[in-house]
Amino acid sequence: MSSNKEVMVKYIVIFQILMLGCSILQAQESINKQLFPKIDSILNTYYDSSKPGGIISVLKDGELVYTKGVGLANLEYNIPISDSTAFHIASVSKQFTAFLAVLLEEEGKLNLDDDIREYLLELKHLPHKITLRQLANHTHGLPNLFELAQLKGISSQEKMTHEEIVDMLLSIKSVNFKAGDQYEYNNTGYALLAEIIERVAGETFGMLMQEKVFKPLGMNSSRVIDDPSKIVKNKAYSYQIAGDEYLKFPIALMANGSSGISTSINDLNRWIGNFYKPVIGSKATYQKMIEFNTLNSGEVIQYGLGLESKKYKGLDVIFHGGGDAAYRSYLIHEPQSGFAVSILSNSGGFSSLDIIYAVFDLCLEEQLIVEEVQKVKYSNQELQSFVGTYKMFPGTFYNILAEEDTLFFQSFGASDKAALPNISEKTFEFPYIPHSKFVFYEGGFNFYIADFKYPCEKVELEIPENIELDKFVGRYRNKELKVTYELLVKDEVLWAVSDVNSDIRLFPLSASSFYSNVHYFGKIEFVKDESKAISGFLLGGNFLKNIEFVKIQ
């Protein structure tokens, strides 16, 4: 015969189950169940049950409304994606790092407005103050870790632990710009923020995340992965298509803070739920993460701390995405209605972005304000105001041409060109990358790719002829990265040759500078000593500037 205590325990368990059922039922009542087949249809349009796919969830006020996965987590063993499948979430990790930093600030262990040089003495030589907040809102001005690694000959597919990445970053000697002058999204800030968090707390970043975030929220399938050799249970694997077959496409470069978190959709739902009904932190903690930031010029940027805001079809939304190898992740909230949609995927491409916005639009259809956009018919003469050469990054140039009342895009130095369909006034689609467009303004255009914006400045280039190339020949070394490039002339062309990367062809840009088509080696500007002999060069590229190479012979 059961004791009274055992009977009470049974009643309590039954009560909890009933309350959970009521909670789910109430959440489902907030969305028309007739939409569920439509969401199913969206998923099935993009994902195939026999290929890599993804899983999506819809929440209302932090409660689960809908979730479904389509596709395989593992192709070798035909393991389907489920709500417990663990995905690498790439840059969605940034909001976890920012949250942890704000928690530590609330505990008095750090201050987001402190100079990072107080915590990272290895960087005391940096010329300007950089705050922890600027690390988190991408206004720090430091070079991006991926391009630095590639300069060393380490691609994203080659093994590099978080510890090795931090060692590389703590040797940075130059900046791209003074902190606060620009917004430039990259991963270095968050990797260094994770290092600061470790130092002030006296524990590893992974242990802190477990103790302060994952464990309190019941995120039992979540881990920080700082080494690509570590085993991840219930893992979704990354693949790429080669011809008519799939090949493994693993993550090998692990940068905690900016990336590195592995989680399931179940756990991600718990994370989202904490924004609405805090178990750890508070509403004020979340508010700090979404506050806008201001540049030195007074310009306001809508990237907060690991989360970004924007106006979408009349709604104020908060979002962040992530992508690495074939992994894709995305979260979007609409705080006023309490709706949140999230997706995790191992299918690559832009399908996850298409899916999440299609589902978001479906759930909030009655609240959306879609303005009718009028295309503009430009004459060839009117298009001339857009024509010219534009610089995106050091060494990255584009030509904009106009022919027969049509605008064209052309990579600098190429002969092929591609038409740019008009979307609206001063706005043209770039149909060769999904979710991309050019928006022109006086003296430049913004190149939008999904959620990213890259300013492109109009420039005048006069390429010199008959340059004496032999004077640039020599061996040049960067001390911080411990890498050497030799410049030599082959068939009247200047090349940068190293033991770590493929040979890079250099094209003249001016009497003292050259560019290449390699993004991490975009432009070199030669410098001279007092005797006017070449003593080295400064290297720039995508998210890189002023990397100094000294001539050693």
Residues 260-291 have pLDDT tens digits of: 999 999 999 999 999 999 999 999 999 999 99
Q: Let me know how many helices (H) and strands (E) the chain has, helices first.
A: 13, 32
Q: Quote the tokens at residue 510.
A: 């001016």
Q: Quote the tokens at residue 1.
A: 């015969």
Question: What is the chain's length?
Answer: 553
- Among 480, 481, 503, residue whose Cα is nearest residue 151: 481
Q: Tell me what pLDDT residue 252 has.
A: 81
Q: Tell me what pLDDT residue 394 has.
A: 96
Q: Which residues of the chain have pLDDT under 50?
A: 1-29
pTM of the model: 0.92
Please state, in angstroms and rounded to a whole number, the distance separating the CA atoms of residues 145 and 540: 14
Please state, in angstroms and rounded to a whole number, the distance separating the CA atoms of residues 487 and 539: 13
φ, ψ dihedrals at 158, nearest 5°: -105, 140
- Among 134, 100, 146, 91, residue whose Cα is nearest residue 258: 91
Are 87-367 and 469-551 equal in CATH topology? no
Q: Tell me what pLDDT residue 144 has.
A: 97
Instruction: Tell me 405's DSSP state.
Output: T
Q: What CATH architecture applies to the domain 380-459?
A: Beta Barrel (2.40)
CATH class of 469-551: mainly beta
Q: Which long-range contacts (CB under 8 A, 24 or more apart) does 38-47 make?
A: 38/362, 39/66, 39/68, 39/359, 39/362, 40/68, 42/355, 42/358, 42/359, 42/362, 43/68, 43/70, 43/355, 44/70, 46/347, 46/351, 46/354, 46/355, 47/71, 47/347, 47/351
Q: Under a CB-based contact definition with an 8 Å cutoff, are residues 221 and 86 in contact?
A: yes
Q: Quote the tokens at residue 414.
A: 């190429």
If one counts every other C-beta atom within 10 angstroms of the C-beta of residue 447, the result is: 20
Q: Under a CB-based contact definition with an 8 Å cutoff, are residues 366 and 349 in contact?
A: no
Q: Tell me what pLDDT residue 30 has.
A: 60
Q: Under a CB-based contact definition with an 8 Å cutoff, are residues 73 and 344 in contact?
A: no
Which CATH number is correct for 87-367, 3.30.70.3190, 3.40.710.10, 2.70.98.90, 3.20.20.80?
A: 3.40.710.10
Residue whose token pair is 């920080």: 224
Please state, in angstroms and rounded to a whole number, the distance separating the CA atoms of residues 438 and 388: 14
Please state, in angstroms and rounded to a whole number, the distance separating the CA atoms of residues 280 and 100: 10
What are the domain boundaries of the chain?
A: 87-367, 380-459, 469-551
* Crossing angle for the helix pair 162-169 and 188-201, to the nearest 10 degrees: 100
How many Cα atoms are found within 13 Å in the side-chain-facing hemisphere of 404? 3
Q: Quote the tokens at residue 553.
A: 């012979």
